Amino acid sequence: MLLNLGEKRILVVSSAEMATQIVKTHDLTFADRLCTKAAKIMFFGGNNIALAPYGEQWRQLRKFCVLELLSTKRVQSFKYVREEEIYKVVEKIAYSSRKGEMINLSETSFTLSNSIIVRCSLGDNFNKDYIERFLKLITKATALIESFSFGDFIPWLIWMDTVTGLNRQLTKTSQELDTFFNQIIDDHHLDDDKEDKRNFIDLLVLHAEHDNLSLTRDAMKGIIMILNA
């Protein structure tokens, strides 16, 4: 089924046979992802594994993510993070149980997954307030990415994005994220004694400095955003 949403043509694939045609037979034709206005801003130009156009740069980013960030060995290296965060949750549940307090398991599970991802991404050298600030920024950015932009579908109504306040919110949030990530990268120091416990920022900085991978600072920010959004 083909939908015309403003000036965008959207193909809806609703059968296994057509899905095979899209993802296998004609995968190169459909390899590029739609990068909306909000996504391009929030993900620092869209130069990351999820939104970058198919090509050599995308293949290099994908190879880096598969072999370095998400490999079995790397996932196992974060076992101590998962164990520590799960222990904290068990302790919290036990404490609440002794006090006869209600426990919101949905909220607890959400907090657990976020804590694990943030520690894997940024490391352990950040206090609770700093992490909460990061999570608030990620939540705000995700909401903006999901919001409707007139410019994406009806270009001649792009001025409406200013009227609705979308442009202002995108600019403000992207500047806050940019400042946050710049501070993390600028203050970053590799510790050779903790090679087996390197976080995602460690790996990004390491490969940006020593490999031929064209990993710009904005690309680093975009990758961390994709992993946490």
Give the pLDDT score at 10.
85
For 27, which DSSP code?
T
Is the dihedral angle over the CA atoms 175, 139, 50, 76 positive or is it negative?
Answer: positive
Q: Which domains, and CATH codes, for the chain?
A: 1-30 (no CATH), 31-228 (1.10.630.10)
| Cβ neighbours of 13 (radius 10 Å) | 14
State the distance between the two ends of the chain, measured CA to CA, in whole angstroms.
30
The tokens describing 172, both together, are 């403000």
Give the pLDDT score at 178.
93
Give the pLDDT score at 195.
61
Is the dihedral angle over the CA atoms 16, 20, 23, 28 positive or is it negative?
Answer: negative
Give the pLDDT score at 175.
94
d(CA 217, CA 208): 9
The H-or-E segment that residue 4 falls in is strand 2-5
Task: Give the position of tokens 């390899």.
Answer: 31
The tokens describing 9, both together, are 């043509």
Digit-by-digit pLDDT tens for the chain (229 residues) are 888 888 888 888 888 888 888 888 888 888 777 888 999 999 888 777 778 888 887 888 888 888 888 888 888 888 999 999 999 999 999 998 888 888 888 888 988 988 888 888 888 777 778 788 888 999 999 999 999 999 999 999 999 999 999 999 999 999 999 999 888 888 776 555 566 677 888 888 887 766 666 678 888 888 888 888 7
